[in-house]
Amino acid sequence: MAMEMAMMYQMKWLVALLMTLFISTAAGQTQLPDEATSALPSTPSPTTPQPSLPKLPLAVHYETLCPDSVYFIRRRLYDALLDNDWWNRTDLKLYPFGKAAFYNNTETGQLQVFCQHGDKECELNALHACILENLELRQAFDLIYCMLDSYFNNIEVCAVHLKLDVSRAQECKRTRKTADILLPYGKETLSLQISFVPTIVFDGNFQPYEQSSIRYNFERHFCHEYQQKFNIKLPTCG
């Protein structure tokens, strides 16, 4: 009789244990009852680094007082890069030189520069060059876009509007000779022997006979060049 009572007690204990395990498992737990356990910290899954977006090299050779340059940068280039979210898809280079040229001043023995729209344009081209050298590219591009809104290219007004510190760019223009500032930009532009401003170059491939089409159908050309180089059709490209 005592043995039967002991067996019944063990059976009841086993049933109670199994019921507890069932309830614990159903609640999403795996611990045994009354087991001293602590939750282990979850191991973070390794994050896969996001691949960098391929960028299409794009060079724009322009002049600060050229109406066609102003129109292209403000109404074509700027809108296309921002509206289509192409800024991170573009390796942009700006060359504020245009149809200018260098010459040696025989009286002073110094290198000098003359520009298509006069001395004022040379000075403004040099100021744009200093902006490009001393500001982060996106900041420089926004500042140049703002400055090209008027003939005066007012850097102070635009700097206040964009909340930018332009002191280094102004110091660059104030302390260096205009020809020296423009020399690296001029070398790049003069090597192309351009006949019209602005001149737009995709991926280092200058296409002189396509310039008019590129200027007025910029987005279509950008889509074509990007897909041809990377075999990627951008979302906003038809």
At 124, which CATH number? 3.40.30.10
Q: Is residue 26 part of a domain?
A: no
Q: What is the pLDDT of residues 174-189, one digit of tens each?
A: 999 999 999 999 999 9
- CA distances to 8, 20, 30, 82 from 15, rounded to whole Å, are 11, 9, 18, 69
The answer to whether position 117 is within a domain reads: yes
pLDDT, residue 6, reads 44
Asked whether residue 146 is assigned to any structural domain, the reply reads: yes
Residue environment code for 100-109, b if the CB has 16+ CB neighbours within 10 A, otherwise e: beeeeeeeee
Inside any domain, residue 78: yes
Domain assignment present for residue 98? The answer is yes
Q: Which residue has the higher pLDDT, 29 or 220?
A: 220
**How many domains would you assign to the chain?**
1
Residue 65 lies in a domain: yes
pLDDT category at 238 given cuts 50, 70, 90 is confident
> Is 61 in contact with 197 (CB distance < 8 Å)?
yes
Residue 221 domain-assigned (yes or no): yes
Tell me if 129 is assigned to some domain.
Answer: yes
> What is the domain extent for residue 93?
56-230
Residue 45's pLDDT band (cuts 50, 70, 90) = low
Q: In whole angstroms, how large is the CA radius of gyration of the chain? A: 34
pLDDT at residue 21 above 60? no
